[in-house]
Amino acid sequence: MRDFRFLTPPTLPEALAMLADLGEDACVMAGGTALLLGMRQRMLSPDSVVSLHRLQALKGITVDPTQGLTIGALVRHADVARSPEVQRHYPMLADMAQRLANPQVRNRATIGGNLCYADPATDPPTCLIALDAEVTLVGPDGTRRLAMRDFAVDYYTTALEPGELLTTIHLPPPDTMRVGLYRRLLRTPAEHRPVASIALTLLRNGDLVSDARLVIGAATPAPQTMIRAQAFLEGRRLTPDTAAEAAALVAAEIAPLSDGRGDAAFRRQIAQVNTRRMLAELGGHDWRLE
C-alpha cells in the first residue's frame, strides 16, 4: 500500500467539494472494510482517501408512519440488525443484516458503503430491491432520488455519477398485509459470501397473492428481478404446484454468472429449488414433506 492523504471533512458540503477538486485521484471511505482490502491488494491506489466518518447526519435510523424508514448511509449493518424499529416493522431487513458476512464486518461496514461497492456476492441490494427501497444521491448537480433496482446496475457498477455520494436509504411505510423472506445460500457453512440469495415479498389478499416481488442476487452480476415469476403469481393461491411453476419460471429467466465458486447451472438450480421452498413456506406448506 503506497502513501496517500487521509481527509476527514466535517460536513457534507465540504466532502462534496473535496471530491469535486480531487476527481478520480480520490476514493471515498465509509466503513472501510472493502476499500482497505482493495488498497492492500493494490487493486486501488488513490492519492487521497476522503473519509465520511465525521458526518453524523448520515448515521441515523428513523421510522415515520407516513414516510417509512430512513437509514443513513453510514449506519453499520449491526445497527440495522439491532434497531428495535427495524426489527418491529421491517423484520426481513433486520434478519438480513444480522446474518450478513461475519461479526467483524457487521460491526464496521456501513450499509451505504456496501451499496456503493456493488459486490455481486453481497446481501443488502437484493433485500432492499424486494422491499421497494430508494436511495438519495447528492452531488455537484444537486440531489436526486433513485429506486434501488435502478441504482444497482451491473458487476461492481452503480448509477453513481462522478462526485456523487449516497446519503440515505428509504423504505416505504410498513404494510401489515405484506410478508417476506430472505435467504442467503452458501457453498459451505464456513463461507461468508453467498453463492446465491433470494428476496421475496408479497401481499396477501385473503388467500390470493398480489404485488409479489422476487429478486435473485449473488448468483447474478447484479440483483435480477424475476418479472415472469412475479406476473405468474399475481392473483394465485400459494399451493405447492404454484410454487413449483413459479420456480421453474425463475430457472428459465435467471441469467446466472459462472466463476470459481459455482457455475451457471449450479446457481440456476439453487435459485429454482429455494424459490419453490420459500413460496411453499409462505403458503403454509412444509416443503420437506414433498
| 157 phi/psi in degrees, rounded to 5 | -135, 135
pLDDT band at 54 (very low <50, low <70, confident <90, very high): very high
Instruction: Write out the residue range of the structural domain in which residue 78 sits.
Output: 58-171
Reported pTM = 0.96
One domain, residues 154 and 62: yes
Domain boundary among 171, 205, 227: 171
- Residue 176: the pLDDT is 86
Could you tell me the CATH number of the domain that includes residue 201?
3.30.390.50
Residues 6+ away with beta carbon under 8 Å from 105: 33, 77, 192
Residues 129, 222 contacting (CB under 8 angstroms): no
Same domain, 47 and 124: no
Q: Do the domain assignments include residue 290?
A: no
Per the prediction, the chain carries an average pLDDT of: 95
In contact, 112 and 97? CB cutoff 8 Å: no
Whether residue 130 is found in the same domain as residue 188: no
N-term to C-term CA, the chain: 54
Residue 99 lies in a domain: yes
Q: What is the model's pLDDT at position 32?
A: 95
Whether residue 64 sits in one domain with residue 47: no
Residue predicted with more confidence, 130 or 288: 130
Looking at the structure, do residues 141 and 72 belong to the same domain, yes or no?
yes
Segment 230-237 shows an average pLDDT of 97
Q: Is the pLDDT of residue 289 over 70?
A: no
In a domain, 221, yes or no: yes
Q: How far apart are CA 102 and CA 192, in angstroms?
A: 7
Give me the pLDDT at residue 290, please: 53
Interval 264-275 mean pLDDT: 97
Instruction: Please report, for the domain that includes residue 156, its CATH number.
Output: 3.30.465.10
Could you report the per-residue pLDDT of 144-197, keeping only the tens digit for each? Answer: 999 999 999 999 999 999 999 999 999 999 998 999 999 999 988 888 899 999
What pLDDT is recorded for position 206? 82
Residue 274 belongs to some domain of the structure = yes
Q: Please give the pLDDT value at position 273.
A: 97
Q: Looking at the 3D structure of the chain, how many domains does it have?
A: 3
Same domain, 271 and 232: yes
CATH for 47: 3.30.43.10
Q: Mean pLDDT, to the nearest integer, of 80-105?
A: 96
Give the type of residue at 96.
Answer: M
Close Cβ partners of 91 (under 8 Å, ≥ 6 residues apart): none
Residues 154 and 218 placed together within one structural domain of the fold: no
